[in-house]
Amino acid sequence: MVAPAAPSETPARQARAVLRAADRAALATSQEGWPFASLVLAALDHDGTPLLLISDLSEHAKNIKREPRVSLLFDGTQGLDDPLTGPRVTVLGEARASAERHLRQRFLARHPAAELYAGFADFQLYRVAVARAHLVAGFGRIHWIAAAELLPAVDPAWAAREAEIVAALDGDDARRHALLSAHGLDDAWRLTGLDPEGADLRNGGSVARLEFATVARAPDDGLAAIGQARLTKL
């Protein structure tokens, strides 16, 4: 579950925390005027833009080709006795196919099992251009968030250097062991991504996140902040 937000956190950052912690979402597309809901794997660009890898043969991909406007529900309520007290975010936007290499790398790092089918001719990566988002952080804590608030500008260095930094840290067994041990995690966990607000981890079918106390401006700042980050496990 996503940890409760600190009082000083803005609705936009609370919403991004829910998006960044999740590795899946409910996708709603339009099928002949009917809402059509699907479960999809999700990743994010460094600024928080949702990324999807879907097959042209799927119903939701066919729907997107006719009508690119979609919504995505990200659920941060796992593990709560009363899920309605927890956070969830609905993102509204337009899904467009993208050939950007770093976006594909981010998705496959987040979902390594997708390597088995990502190269098939019918699979495409989609980037959801966000129009706005709706955060329900609990009873009575409801906010509409504009895209400009939800998705902050990010230094291009994150896209240029992330893969190198992640590979170097994951390849240093002693350093990775020390980092994981500091957060009570065993060596089966692997770092899969680094962004201005935290780092993503995976162990088989489980994901976790190390959330920074403050936003890191550059990749090296993020690397330095990992040891003091707050752990969130789903």
CATH of the domain at 209: 3.20.180.10
User: What are the tens digits of pLDDT across the range 95-136?
Assistant: 999 999 999 999 999 999 999 999 999 999 999 999 999 999
| CB of 166 closer than 8 Å to CB of 106 | no
Strand ranges (E), the chain: 24-31, 34-41, 43-44, 50-55, 69-75, 88-97, 123-136, 142-146, 190-195, 198-203, 206-211, 230-233
Please, what is the average pLDDT of the chain? 93
65 with 91, same domain: the answer is yes
3-class secondary structure for 22-89? CCEEEEEEEECCEEEEEEEECEECCCCCEEEEEECCCHHHHHHHHCCEEEEEEECCCCCCCHHHCCEE
CATH of the domain at 142: 2.30.110.10
CA angle 123, 124, 125 (to 5 degrees): 135
Q: What is the pTM of this model?
A: 0.93
Domain tally for the chain? 2
Q: CA–CA separation, 3 vs 118, rounded Å?
A: 32
pLDDT score for 71: 98
| CB of 37 closer than 8 Å to CB of 28 | yes
Report yes or no on 4 lying in a domain: no
Domain of residue 85 covers 11-150
Last residue of a domain, one of 121, 150, 179: 150
User: What are the tens digits of pLDDT across the range 162-217?
Assistant: 999 999 988 899 999 999 999 999 999 999 999 999 999 999 999 999 999 999 99
pLDDT score for 95: 98
Largest distance between two CA atoms of the chain: 55
26 with 113, same domain: the answer is yes
Centre a 10 Å sphere on the Cβ of residue 90 and count the other Cβ atoms it contains: 18
pLDDT score for 7: 43
Residues in the chain: 234
Residues paired with 190 in a beta bridge: 202
